[in-house]
Amino acid sequence: IMGNSGGDNRTEFDFRAPHAVWYESPNIAGAHANFLVSPGQNRSTDTGLYAQGEPDCSGGNSTGGLNGNAGQPTSCEDGSFATLYSVDLTYDSGPLYVTAAYELHKDVNRIGDEIVPGTIGIRDESAYKLGVQYTFPTKTTVNVVVERLQRDAITDSLDERTHTATWLALTQGLTAFDDLNLGWAHVGRTPGQPVEGVQDKFGNPAPAGSSDNEANLYTIGLKHRFVDKRTTAYLTYSSLVNGYWAHYSLGAGGHGLPTRNYVGDKFSGGCQTGGNCGRPFSGNNPEAVSFGLTYDF
C-alpha cells in the first residue's frame, strides 16, 4: 500500500531507482540528509520507451510482457517517467527518530489508461512522507507515517493516483530475545479512476469518479534473536482488505511474490496459463504468511 500510486503490483515511490546519483550528508548533531537524481535517459519525447541502458520501463512496467507474457503492453504507457528527484531529511536522537521525504517523477506516461485521448496523458507525479518513531522505556516502539501522493491530473474524475495513506506500527519487546510486531496501513479514496481501467470480480467495468477504492492492510509478526547474536528468525501474517473498486496487492514492495490482481488469473486462459492478462480486478482480499531467517556475518 505505502508508496503505491494506483494499486498495481509495484510501488513507484518505494523502489530502488536505477542509473541514479546521490549524496549522503554527514551526521550533524543527529541530523542527516540524502539527495538523489535518476536522469530520464529516455529516447522518446513521451517517456514511452525504455530508459537507455535499462531492461525495463522506468515505472516498473515491462514492454516485454510481465513474466515474459507477450500479451502485456508493448510500450511504456503505464507509469513510465523521465527524471526522478528525491530528497529526505532525518533526525535521530536517543528514543526519537523523525523523517521527512519528497520525491518528484517528471512526465509520467499514463496514456495506457485513456479511453478518450488527452484526458489522462503525461503529467508530473510527486509524493511526500512524514514519519515519527519513538521507543518508550517499556520496550515499546511506536511508528507513525503519513504520505501524500499527487498527480497533476488533467481530469480529476479519472485520477486514481492522488491519495493519502497512513501507517501505524507497534513493536513490543516480550523478552530479551523476542519481539511482537503489529501494523496497520490505510490508503484513502482517490478523486477518480480510469473508465474501464478497473473491473470488479464479475468483469464489470468501473465508472469514472470517486468510488470505494480504499484499502486496509493488517499485519502481525514475531521476531526471535538467537543467543549467538547473529541469527534472527521471523514469522509474519498479513491480510489485505480491498474496497470494492480497490486493487492493491501484497508483495508489491518486493518482499515475496506479489499477489495478482488480474482478470486473467481468475478465469482460465489467463496469465497463469500463458494467456493474456486482463485488466486488474478489484475487491480481492489476499492473505499471506512469511517466514525467514537472517544471519549477520
pLDDT tens string 111-159:
888 888 999 999 999 999 999 999 999 999 999 999 999 999 999 999 9
pLDDT tens string 244-256:
999 888 877 766 6
Query: Residue 247: its pLDDT value, please?
Result: 86
Which whole-number Å values give the CA distances from 48 to 59, 102, 148, 289, in the listed order?
10, 25, 26, 37
Query: Residue 61: its pLDDT value, please?
Result: 65
Q: Give burial (CB, 10 Å; 0-12/13-18/19+) of 82.
A: buried
Give the class (CATH, top level) of 89-295.
mainly beta
Query: Residue 254: its pLDDT value, please?
Result: 67
Which whole-number Å values give the CA distances from 153 to 119, 156, 161, 279, in the listed order?
9, 6, 9, 21
Cα 116–Cα 108–Cα 165 angle in degrees, nearest 5: 100
Domain ranges in the chain are 89-295
Distance CA 58, CA 67 (A): 16
Q: What are phi and psi of 66, to 5 degrees?
A: -60, 125
Q: What is the pTM of this model?
A: 0.86
